[in-house]
Structures are given as C-alpha cells and as structure tokens.
Structure 1
C-alpha cells in the first residue's frame, strides 16, 4: 500500500502562514550557546496540530534535558518551496546567527512538479550559505510521489544525498520514515491524508534526533 502523502490527487496548496511552533526569537534577541534555525514547510510548522505538539516543539523539550541553553528558531512556513526558503534564508541567517541550520524543504517542489535541477540548486545554495556563516547543516530528505514514476522518484531522493555530499552537510535520508512508508500510513496522518498527525510527531523527531545529536 502506498502512502497517501505521496498521492498527488490529495495535494492542495496551503495558505502561507508563519509557524508558531518552537521558540522563535525576536529580531536582535541574544541567546547563549547553541541556536538552531529550522527552515521548513508545513511538516515543521505544526499545520493542523495543537500548538506545542509538533516535532519541533518536542525537539525543544528534548534539548532542555540533553543540551540546556539550546534555543530553536522555527522559521517554517506552510506551503513553502525551496525557492521560498532560498529567498528568506540570508535574512534569517543575519538576524538569528544560528550555530545549526535544519533544512526541511523539497516536498512541495515535488508535489508541484517543479524541476529537479531547480530544487537541487536551491538546496545547495541554502546549505552553502549556512555553512559559510559557520553553522552546521542538517538536511532532511523527502521522497517524490510514486505517480511520477520510479526513475523520477530515484532522482529526487538522490538529489538530497548529492547536495549533502557537495556541501558537507549531514543528511537524514527520509524525514517521514516509519510514517509515510508505514504499511498502514492512514493512522499517522490527519484527515487531509497529507499532514502527519500528533501521534506521528515523535516518529519524525526520532528520525531527526540521531543525526542532530551528532552535530551538537
């Protein structure tokens, strides 16, 4: 059974809205120690979830115990593409001066059928820009809907590994592992069959945390 997340007929564009998840710092705010900037889409913006239950909020709680003093800037926006992330990132880097950057983008590019070369170029620009500031980068990989065919699916998944290698970033191969590819994925998604539900959020964090912990 294929995951409904990757069935294009269920895809609908979301209205752009700033995420309320995580601990978003105001401009000019100073914080000691580590600061993690997350640039993502609805999967990181708590779309359809009670505030404080998304994987980013769970990550903040995890860090309070394992790495006290680490702050999160969640700059994720529902509906965001890699082009949008690319245009916003330079200002975010200047404003927040993060020590770590998590890039969770590309899923909307795939669902909109955007050129793979553009997605790769945008992700490469973002990762290199963050690395040039001295930040460590974690790239969260996504997969393309299967209706595009096996060749496109492989190429899309492969571009994340290529970007990670060329920019010296750390890669989570599939951010939705054990959720989007579960034998019974419906139990992990909201009624729209697109966005992971509250029960799935610990699994998303479980995919991110092992690699992020190495960077911390």
Structure 2
C-alpha cells in the first residue's frame, strides 16, 4: 500500500459530499437524573454534540460519551450523563435546542461538542463564535459549568480560516471562563495511520478511536467536576 498522506485524509474526511458529520439525523439520550434537593443533588453532565458524540456508525455503548460513564464509575465520581447529541447538528441547532434541555435536565455541567458541521458548510466564523458564546452563557446562567470541545480543519480550507476556526473554541472559553478541549480528534485524525481509526466513509471514527477521544476530553472535564 502506498504511503498515506495524513493531510489528504483529513481533508477528504471533512469534505466528502458534505455528508459525514452532516449524515442522517440520529439522537439518543438517557433519562434525566431524579431531581434531588440542596447539596444532595447528583451532578448531571449534559453532552450537546453532533455525530462524533452520537455514536454514528458504531455499536451503542461504544462511543466516548458511554465510555465517560464508565470512567466516572471507575473513579467513583457520583455523576450522571445525558447525551443529547444529534448527528448533523450545528452550533445554530445546538443553540436552539439548549434552552429546553437546560430546563428539562437542570445539568451541573454542559459539554458542547459542536462546530464541525459549521466548518463543513463554510458558515461564517462570526456566527459560529456567537452561537458558542450564547450556548456557554445560557448554560452558565443556568448554573452549569461548561466545557467546549473543539474541532480543526486542514489548511486546505484556507490557512486563515483553519487557524481562526481552531482558535474559536479557546477564545470563547477564555472569554467566558469555561473549560476547553482544543481538538477532540487529537491523535486520531492526525495520528500516524488515521485510516485505521475511521469508518469506511473516512469521516466518522471507528469504535476503536473513541477511547482516545475520551482521553482528550476527560482531563479537562475532570477539572470541572472537582
């Protein structure tokens, strides 16, 4: 097999037929935790994401959000998880869905993993920033700690666009004093053999990649859980 160019792979993954992350809508969520009272209330982590968090193309229970539940149990952290991710969602879609989710679940922590589909569609960076800021502010006003989980695009999108898009997540997090994971696919999309960790569409990570995705998210989320 010829040497595989990682940049070409990532570009192909992000641009293929405007599909991929924008694939058929799927969503799943676990029941909300019973609402406790006062200090006895169990922390609840709400994950608002796209197909990277919605277990697209892999067995239920093998995605990074499901693995997060196992990590919490392993570390004896008393917290529950609600996965409100929808394949194909954008920051605009997440912004419109979030108020109802906050009202229903009253989360103590909100993980926002959105933005990849905005980049696929070439949406203005200002609108992406505004949506991320609005979601972060809404969650914080509802009493939740926020973790922004970022994406990156290759320079083929334009060096300036790629740089500014990657910086959005950290910029919003710093401005709003939220947590941030710069790139959820670190050591997956930019690893030595990315084809091994992606499904046949070269867009969605295989189940084998999700432990690494959790490894990218967990250290920053754990800080917020302390």
Highest CA radius of gyration, 1 or 2?
2
2:136 corresponding residue in structure 1: 127
Contact 1:111 1:145 in 2 (8 A): no
Counterparts of 2:8 and 2:27, CA distance in 1: 27
Residue 80 of structure 2 is aligned to residue 71 of structure 1: yes
Matched residue, 1:25: 31
Aligned residue for 2:11? 6
Q: Which moved more, 1:46-55 or 1:30-39?
A: 30-39
- Where do residues 154-165 of structure 1 align in structure 2 (5 Å cutoff)? 154-165=163-174
* Runs ≥4 residues deviating over 6 A: none
The 1-side partners of 2:115 and 2:207 are apart by: 22
1:4-153 equivalences in 2 (<5 Å): 4-7=9-12, 8-9=15-16, 11-12=18-19, 13-19=22-28, 24-26=30-32, 29-30=34-35, 32-153=41-162
1:212 aligns with 2:221: yes
1:169 aligns with 2:178: yes
* Superposition CA RMSD, Å: 1.5
* Distance in 1 (alpha carbons) for counterparts of 2:70 and 2:16: 36
C-alpha separation in 2, matches of 1:193 and 1:115:
25
Number of matched pairs = 212
Superposition TM-score, scaled by structure 1 size = 0.93
CA contact (8 A) 1:10 1:192 kept: no
- Comparing 177-186 and 142-151, the one that deviates more: 142-151
Give the deviation of 1:118 after TM superposition: 0.4
Contact 2:7/2:154, CA 8 A, preserved across alignment: no
Deviations 1:6-52 (A, max 9, x none): 331354131222135xxx115x8436421000000000000000010
